[in-house]
Structure 1
Amino acid sequence: MIVLNYHELVEASPSNAWCLTHETFDAHLALCGDRLVSPQTFLEHCPDPKASRTGAVLLTFDDGFLSDYTHVYARYVTTGRIPGFMSFIPVDFVGAPGRMNWEMIEEISRDGVAIGSHGMAHVDLTTVSDVELGRELTVSKSMLEDRLGRQVALFAFPYGRFSRRVWDAALRAGYTHLFTIQLGYHRGFEPFLYSRLCLTNNMDAEYMRQHLFDPDAMRGFAWRISSRLGIYRQLMRLRYR
């Protein structure tokens, strides 16, 4: 399985590198074809190591932008063009200009979109105190659960940054699936950790095609050698201790 990560989608003139046009997003979907899977399918099959070789693709969106609702949900989910996606919400941003409000989040969560937490204020969790880390993880989770009336077990690290202290705190808070953009591929080095390709508007269609059809090659020489030697997990645990 391959997990793609998007942020805001706009009609034209992206305001930053992580903002993509509708046209670019359409081109990506055309490359994915019928490989797209729903969040429910992903969560059911991701514990299986064989699932990482299926070529299935999951869409995820960070930061709770309004385009999650007005474009991706309204144009693609409600029409059956995609089987759903994950949306990670920084709770302090809900209802801000350009962001979804609670009513929108509640609506999409009832119709094929899996809602996860992105913390409260979208801060680098590796830099905050233990008290602030706990607040970012637990308060965001409880607020989302209170509004949605269901468990929220998905968490995406803001900026993709994490450490062992951060992931241990997230697991203690009750999250079961943790997402980053640091490792570039579906399965991380721990069973609860999932990597995503963060799409920017300087990644052309050829880059996307190569990542979709030969993702291992896109990870580079060091990953291939450390995986072959069986030391990838140990090296990554040292890096993110």
Structure 2
Amino acid sequence: MSTATNRTLPTDRLRALARAAASGEEPRPPSHRCELCSEVLPDVHRHLVELPARELACACRACALLFDRATVAGRTGGDRYRAVPELRQRLGPDPLDDVAWSALGVPVRLAFFVRHEGDAPLGEVTAYYPSPLGVVGTAVEPEAWERLARQQPAVERLHPEVTALLVHRDAREHWLVGIDECYRLTARVRHSWTGMTGGDEVWHEIDRFFAELRGDAAPA
């Protein structure tokens, strides 16, 4: 069957990649090639999260499809990679009130929340926010996240490690997105930040980012 062929070929590619790494070959630039099979990638391509480092890896569509099932199942343990879903879904009209936001203990108004695998009923949640130095993270109290989930059940659909609740409080933007979108936003913030407060350009970039999300969003 074709399914078996699709599973076998990328496995062989993974083994070849492992042999290349052991021989000391230089890795291909991740922005241009799949990090599993070295296929040349278009500018817009899929990503995987590599565990346990929680680092993004660029992937071709064929390789990403191998790991989609593990992502949907939320499988724990034994999986080195999880596929980042192609997810852009806006929550509205205002799913997170000021009381729930304050309880999360986030000191900024632009942040994204990621479920990590843990012992809490909804997993361990970390709030991350973009900065001129990259991503800064802070743990969220389980009780605060559980209250948020009762108020906004959509957050229970977050897949651990690979999807996020992205919040821009000042613009009343609340989204479920793939984690790669959050790092795309972080890169824009980092590259456009000037001075102590960021400057006008960083806010133009943030506004442009959310405008792009709205133009390519799945229906709620």
- Pick the structure with more strand per residue: 2
Fold match (TM-score > 0.5): no
- Pick the structure with more helix per residue: 1
TM-score interval for Structure 1 and Structure 2 normalised by the shorter chain: under 0.3
Name the larger-Rg structure: 2
What TM-score do the two structures reach when normalised by structure 2?
0.25
